[in-house]
Each structure stands twice: as C-alpha cells, then as structure tokens.
Structure 1
C-alpha cells in the first residue's frame, strides 16, 4: 500500500496559474496578512495497494471459462455489480447498493422481481438497469464457453419496469437457485452492439465499472493491472485510491515480500513457493500464509459427439492409459486430487464418487481389453489401429493458459507410451472452447516439468506458454492426420479446461454435462447427451435440496460414460505481512469471489511507502 504524492499536483498548479492571471487583469487589492495562528489540516496522501500475482490471465470476462484466473476473479469482485454477493461465510446476501429488493412475486409463472437502486450506475454515466439483465441472460443461455449456464436456460423472459430500474425475471418452472444468477453484470449499453462484444472488450480490460474500483490500465509487457477508485460510485467509496495487481515471478516473490515491494501476494501453492516462504518464516518478519482453494477444477474433456472417442469403449481405454496422480505431481504437486464430477474438495461434505476400477493410474490390461472390444488391434510397433488406420487423437489447451498446456504435454506423453498417436494444439483459449475445429497451432517449444516441480510463473497471459524447468525436452508427438501448423482445421478430441467449484450441485452438473443447446455444437469436447443422465440432471437442477441418491446415480453414469476425467483442484496462497494484516484483515474470502472480495474496506498500513510512478490514463 503505497503513497503517491504526484497524482494530484497538476490540478493545484493549474489553479495557481489561473489565480495569477486573474491577479494581473483585475484591480490589485492589498494582500491579507498570513494566518499564522490557524492550524493547517494535513492532506492524506493517496494510497496504493500492491498485490503480487502469478500472471494476468488470458482475459477478464468472469463468465467465460477461457478467462478464468485469480486476476479475473479479483477484478470482477471490485468492478462489476452483483445482485447477490457471498458474505464472509460464503452465504449469498442481497447487495443493497445494486438492488433494494429481490423477491419471488409469482409462482405461476415463477417470477422473481428486482427493484434496483436508483443511484446505481456505470462509470460511463449510464444507469445499471434492466437491459444489463437482458444482455447477460441472452449471452449465457446460448453460448459455449460460459460458466453456470443451466440456470439462465431456465429463464423464459426478462421484463423491464420503472424506466429500467425494476426487472421481472420469468422462469419455466420454480427455480430455487435464482439467487446465484445475475452476478457480475456487464454494461449492455457498451457491449450489445459492439463487434465481438461478449469477448473482445475483455481481452485487455473491462469496458465500464459498476463497483467501488475502475480498471484503468492493463500493461501486459510490465505485467500490471491498475485499478483506481471509481469516483462516480454511488455508495461508500473505497478507502484506498489504487490497487495494483502485479506479476511477480516465483524466484523474486520472497525478496518482494521481505522488502515490502508488495503488500500482499496471491500465488498458486507450489513447492518452490512454499519452500521460500518456509525460509521467510524463520526471519524477523515472518509472513502470514493462508491457504485458499481456487474456485475451479482442472479436468480433461472428451469429444463424444463424433471421432474416435464417440465410442465409450475407446474413452474407457484412453482413460485407462492415463495416470491422473502423475499429471498432478508433474504440473501442480500441491493441488488436491479430485475424484468426482460435480463436487470439489473445497465443498463441505465432499466425498469422492469414483467407483472401484475407475481410471486413476495406468492399467494396460484394462486399456487393451476396452480397445480390443472396440475393434482395435495393437501392432508389433506398439500402435493401436482400426482397419489399418492408427488411433490418433488431438489434445488441445488454450495457448494463454500455461498450466493447461503443461497438462496437455504430460497427457500426450502418457498416451504415446500407450500406443496412441497424439498432436498437441494450442489455439487461443476462446477459439478452443467455442469452435468445433481449430487451427492446429503448435505450442511454443518448451521443456516438460520434472516430477515434483510445478510450472514457473511469470507468463503474462500472452500467446506463448511460459517455459518450465525440466531435465529433458519433449517435442509434441505427431499423428497421421493434419500436421500441426499446417493450417488445416482439426477437431480437438481431448480438451484441457477448468470447471467451476462453487454453487449448487444441480446447476453445476447440468451446466457441465447436460445436453447441449442448439447454439452449442455437439462436436465440442464435453458437449455430450446421454439418455440415462439427462433426466437425473433435470431433477437436480430444480431441486431445492438435491437427493443424495440422485446425485450418486448421476455420478455413476458419468463414471461409466466418461465425458470428462477430473484431475485436481488448484490451491492458492494468501501471503501477507503484519502491517498488511493490521490494515486489511485479509482472508482467503468466499471461494466464489476470493481474497479481494472486501478490498474497498482495505486501508494503508502504517509505514508503507513507495515512490510515485506517474499517473495512468484509462485504456478505454
């Protein structure tokens, strides 16, 4: 938290100049004697909070899976309005600065009515209004790459009243999880007619703010995001003037903490980080370290609509070749293994649902039995073929998501060892999660992480994955299909992507594994429709309290059909020093919103100091 003494000097100088000009043109008047007996009230210097992060992430739309990162979560919690927000215990509470009331006003049809705060507005001057509800509903219900779309698909109409300051949302049937909807509203007046409005404006910013802070600048070269107090904010203003989210490489994080170059750090838990923090713990100013599970689960998603993985026996064989524990140990050894399709280890009462014999470690006999039953034959060269054609798969990961690319590399190694040809492609994350086929862009050559070593942070979310240390290099395996980099689009068979780890279990399961809508191509990985599963998901979606027996049956079907394979839940850290703790009382926060959920209340710790770096201009 830093003092900036230069940011308000210019207006004062201009005022002084104007007064001087006035004195030259008006009749001179005798100057009053200086007031020496009146105390001068000190003017507080602007405050700056510096938060260290691993990287900036690929984009900042909190509703897109491709943009998920701690930085996106932090920015959304500080800049975007939500009707309901989780309190310190994670329980959703009405945010009265956005809506003065939200109640069920009809059971037939089931209708929820929102009365919006009349002063609530965007930093552009436009009101936060019904059109923002309509825009979010329309985008969420029919687009791929969204988070928690199932609840929005239950809505049949969104109506405006009171000049847009009242909203009636109509559902097809009673929907008990309606409080989870309409969080992180977006400025419809800027986005609804903009080309690529759902994605493009969020690549390097947030178009407008409806919260206590405003995103002023994204500097990917320096690895910084600057947020400033949103002066048009209608409710209680933030205490701090600015918050900087700054990329801090793992090898410099201990020095930055010790020298107070950063006030707070939010790295992913990795061996090199925890070992460095252990060293600092023995010093004179030991940091406070709190564990904070990330709000997502890393998983592999299979393309079940067509291609070789449309056959469940092939999916079973492929899964039996994979060592999920080894993937986690290679990429994120401090993460927590996940053995369920719906719940995550951070959920209260989490219980693994993987049955006996579920894929976990390599089982060559099970893989051979499944592929043989599907008609494949393993040749003398160890390769699996069907009617003379090699079994080849395309494994895809978003180029901007370094950890996803690391997972894809390890998966490719394991499948290649099992006799399967593999091509790794790394197009942009939004394209990967929305298009049935993508340009086969090869990941930038890198080295495979050594066992027990995680990826080195420091990437800025650009197109090239960050390099990770390793004893040996591993080139991307090739296939007999379109060569990587050839430009011929390819369909991705195995997708590395996150799924959310919060919210009611019914909407989670239906959003992630329910039948795709007309707007979501069935050719996308994870876009499956199983007759035995969808009725269970329909029941869970609208259940106030999910029946454990129905959840268990849905999990059994998912383990049999394998539309995906859960891997692990990343673990974050909240690292602070005693001064920061006294000023912010920072905690991991609710998993949905993270440690920055109450940043508007944070104050400057005593003794903080940083030289001014100059004023930043808004990017948009």
Structure 2
C-alpha cells in the first residue's frame, strides 16, 4: 500500500509538471514605435519669362536660357568651362581626349565605361556620329564649322572609344561634341533633330533628367537622374516656371520662387525693385539677317540702304532696353576683347536716297520707293515663339514703312524660319497671352526645289497689321530676326555664321546660312581664322570691315538676364551668372534646398 501511495504521488507530481510545461508563454507587449516621418522632396523653383521654342541646344531656333540650362544639367559634354571659363575635360564622360596623330589630324576619346543614358543605353560612339552628321547637313544649326572639318568618326572598344579624323589641323577641337544627344532614340524618331526635342529631351546623360514639360502651365520639371553614375545631385527637383514681371515679384515675396533669371527690361526692374538684382549677359546676340541670295536685298546697295534707314539704337531702346548694344559681327559686347567695329550705319537719309537711286529705285508721288512701276516691298520675319524677336520685327517694319518701303510682317515657326527658304506667311499673334508652340512644317529641314519668282514677292502676303492669309501661302523673308550664338572661339564662329560651306562626297549640298550669304573672296580669310590656334587680330579686323560693307546681317543687341533671388534661395544656391556658354544654372547639381 505504501508503494501504491508513493506511485500515485509521483504520478500526480509529473502531471502537474507536464501541465506547467505545456502552458502557453505570454510575451510582454512591445513598446509602441513612432512611424518614420515622410521625407519631403527637396527642390528649387527658378523663375523665367519664356520656355523657348524647343530644347535642342544646337538649333538657332531653340536658343534660350531654358535650353541652355537643360543642356548644362541634362546633356553630356566632353569638355566644360570651369568658373573662369577655361575648358576642362569632364571625366564623368571621357577619361581622356587627346590628339594622337597629325597626318591626318586625329583626336582620340576614351569614354567613361560607366557613362550611360537614363534609358540604360551607353553614351557611346554612335552619339558622336549622330551629332557630327546633323551638324554638317542640317540647316539652322549653331557653330557647325568645326564639324565640317571632320572627315570620319570611328568607333572602337565596343563604342567606348572614338577616333575623330579631320581634313586638316583643327586647334579648336575641344569645343566640339558638347551637348551630345541620344542617337539611339533620336535617329529613328519622328522629327528627329528638330521635332523630337520640341517637347523635352528624351534621355539624360547628366545629373538631372527632364520629367515634364507643360507649356500650358509654363513649367519644365527636372528630377534627379537616379541612374547617374557620378556624384548624384543634391536636390530632388528643379522647376523652371514661366512668370511675367508682376507674377514673379509676388512669387518671390511669398516664397513660391527661390531664384529667377528673367529678361532684363524696365518692367521687370520696376517690379523687382524691392530685391537686389544684377545683370547677367546671355550667350546670344539678336541680329537682323538680310537675305543676300534672293529678292531686292540680293543687291548689296539695297542692303546698305535698309541699314541706312534703320535706327538700331532706337529698336534696342524700344524692345530690349536692358540689353547691350552690339556693334560687331564676332565677339559679343560682354566678351573680353570686344571692340565695336561698326562703320557709319544708319540712320542716314542722304545715304538712303543715294543708295536706292544707284540701285535703280525712284520715289513715287506718294513717297514710296519703286523700281520702274513696282513698289519696293520686303518681308520681315521673326519666329512666332520668340516674343522679343516678333517685337523687333514690328519695330523694324514701322521704321521701314516711315521711309517709304512697303513691309509685310510674318511670324512662322522659329524652326522653319532658321531652316527653310520659304516659310509660312503666318501673321504675328497680337495678344499678350503666352504664344503657343507652332508645329514645324514636315519639310523643316528641306529647301524648296524651286525658289519663288521675284514677282511673287511683290504682292503682299501678310500685312504689318496681321491680316489673315491662307495657311498654304509661303514667302521668302527678306529680313529675318534671328539669334546668333556667341561664347565660343571667334574664328569658327565667324566661319559658321558667314562662310560658304563646301560640298563633300557625303554632303554634296551643304546647307547655307539662313540669309544665303556667301562671298567667295572672303572665304579664305574665314577659313584661316577658323583653323588658327590664335586668331590674327588684323585678319579679324579685315573680316569685320568686309562684313560691314556687305551687310549679311545687322547686329542689334546682346540680351541680358536679371538675376534675383530670395535670401534663402541665394544661400542655398550661390546663384550667379556662371560661364557665358553654360549660364546661371551651372553647378545646380550641388544646390541644396532652402533652409536645409
């Protein structure tokens, strides 16, 4: 019985222990964890007064501060200017670039193996080939002279090394292959060179990428390029926002805009009087290009007579009072070494009478200039999207009409004006609302197979009062208001703007300058300047004198921006003019958000 009692007791103890072991373990409640705060996107808003016609930095029609900013922050360049304007190799794009042979003159580029477009395609030799082919064969480009001296672009190392061969020694080769464009996207895109960049840039090879262009709202949005292989941008976004003077002043006051670079003029300066502002010259001179290959202005005496009519200083004062008067064909007023080279050019009524009379014109009873019984009538044109240019065209027309010259003012798409011989006779828009971006005609890079006869231009197509005309009507412009790029070496620039492109086997019909000017006797001097390591000042002076005598164009002014920022915006960005060719957004990848 004793054994039975002990056994029962042991069984009871084991049962109790087993029950305790199988009991669920209750863990203590965890400490409450506060949710992580949401990260606020960092951005800078930059005020501008215009978005421009498009965003290809190699097209005259697209010249604008916004296009310059996008080229600086989005597109890859082999060389870039430092703070002093000296070109430096951008090793994020090319690890080396050097002359490797002199006969033939050859430059070899070793590309950074990490460099790639935001589409994941490598930045490679095909991008060099695409830019070279477009620059030598497409009308309306900027500084094409250097590319015309290239005879071959060879790829090696799977496209990550490039050999560029020239027809002769070309000391200014470091200025080439800036603003590379994504060939793998553009070469087969509708509109390619012109149309495919009108609404943005399709891929990035820099610290930022274009994520939105809203012309209705007036905004271009850049976002950090997360696929950028070098040091990433600090900001999440940069927004370029179009505002007029009154809107800009209010936006700065309430903190909606951090920095701004509107065109310097009286209204803007007045609206921003409460802020500290400073001017910053732009890399563009506004010219009146005088058509030298067709129509009444093909006679140099008529070109000289037109110049004798016009008061260039009055045009500048009326349209762009904050701009710098330009009196040279080469350097811009803001550039070191600039010297006015203008001879006695207008207004000079006595010279007008003499020159038009020598050209065979007489005064009618009404005071109009006529050739026989045909009144002298010219077409003045400006790109529709370029608001200042349109105002220049109207001011020119008013002065010419007052001198007895009939005038028609047209405003075709800017891309057409810079590339076509005949342009749509579209009247200028008479409204203060933002000008919509016209769609370039399908033949924006083609010239008509046959030029219109001179008689066709004697009938007005679009009057200065902007009367409606059929959309199919086209005209040849006699006076074109066009931008001229400045900031590069003067020799290639003069040859690009006023030279005669020579036919080659691959480009048998190279595009002429927009005004059709070509003076065979001047060509050797232009070539000598373009291929000189150091241009001869005496030869530059000779070329300037010939150009003032021939008048392929009339320089008007170099526009300037008015830089302004809030105190917080200034501290966050160090906003300044930057080098002339890269502009105020140079270094924006290092900007921080205000207050950070």
TM-score of the superposed pair, with normalisation by structure 2: 0.88
Q: How far does the alpha carbon of each residue in 1:19-69 deviate from its partner, in whole angstroms, 9 at most, with x for none?
A: xxxxxxxxxx99896467x99987752201111110111111111000111
Q: Distance in 2 between matches of 1:402 and 1:499?
A: 16
Matched, 1:339 2:327: yes
Matched, 1:374 2:359: yes
Pairing partner for 2:546 from 551, 557, 562: 557
Corresponding residue of 2:523: 534
User: What are the residue-to-residue correspondences of 1:466-477 with 2, within 5 Å?
Assistant: none
Q: Distance in 2 between matches of 1:505 and 1:345?
A: 13
Q: Distance in 2 between matches of 1:78 and 1:35?
A: 47
Q: Distance in 2 between matches of 1:525 and 1:131?
A: 28
Corresponding residue of 2:172: 177
TM-score of the superposed pair, with normalisation by structure 1: 0.85
Pick closer, same or farther for the CA change 1:563–1:493 going to 2, 3 Å: same
Q: Distance in 2 between matches of 1:254 and 1:81?
A: 34
Q: Distance in 2 between matches of 1:166 and 1:40?
A: 50
Matched, 1:236 2:231: yes
Pairing partner for 1:145 from 124, 128, 140: 140
Corresponding residue of 1:611: none
> How many residue pairs align between the two structures?
544
Moved over 6 A (4+): 29-32, 38-43
Corresponding residue of 1:291: 279
2:156–2:162: 8 Å Cα contact kept in structure 1?
A: yes
1:302–1:493: 8 Å Cα contact kept in structure 2?
A: yes
Pick closer, same or farther for the CA change 1:78–1:40 going to 2, 3 Å: same
Secondary structure of 1:432's partner? helix
Q: Distance in 1 between matches of 2:360 and 2:43?
A: 64
Q: Distance in 1 between matches of 2:52 and 2:487?
A: 20
Q: Distance in 2 between matches of 1:307 and 1:194?
A: 36
Corresponding residue of 1:73: 68
Q: Distance in 1 between matches of 2:114 and 2:27?
A: 44
- Offset at residue 244 of structure 1 (A): 0.6
Q: How far does the alpha carbon of each residue in 1:351-395 deviate from its partner, in whole angstroms, 9 at most, with x for none?
A: 00112x2x1x42111011001011111111111111211111111
Corresponding residue of 2:59: 64
Secondary structure of 2:474's partner? coil
Query: Structure 1 stretches of 5 or more lacking a match?
Result: 1-28, 281-286, 447-455, 465-477, 608-620
Corresponding residue of 1:567: 556
Matched, 1:459 2:416: no
Pick closer, same or farther for the CA change 1:251–1:34 going to 2, 3 Å: same
Q: Distance in 2 between matches of 1:544 and 1:268?
A: 35
Matched, 1:481 2:445: no
- Offset at residue 289 of structure 1 (A): 2.0
Pairing partner for 2:305 from 317, 320, 340: 317
Query: Structure 2 stretches of 5 or more lacking a match?
Result: 1-24, 440-455, 463-468, 503-507
User: What are the residue-to-residue correspondences of 1:50-129 with 2, within 5 Å?
Assistant: 50-129=45-124
Pick closer, same or farther for the CA change 1:424–1:109 going to 2, 3 Å: same
Pick closer, same or farther for the CA change 1:175–1:140 going to 2, 3 Å: same
Corresponding residue of 2:250: 255
Q: Distance in 1 between matches of 2:184 and 2:28?
A: 53
2:190–2:196: 8 Å Cα contact kept in structure 1?
A: no
1:57–1:460: 8 Å Cα contact kept in structure 2?
A: no
Q: Distance in 2 between matches of 1:412 and 1:562?
A: 18
1:521–1:527: 8 Å Cα contact kept in structure 2?
A: no
Corresponding residue of 2:21: none
Indicate the structure (1 or 2) with the bigger Cα radius of gyration.
2
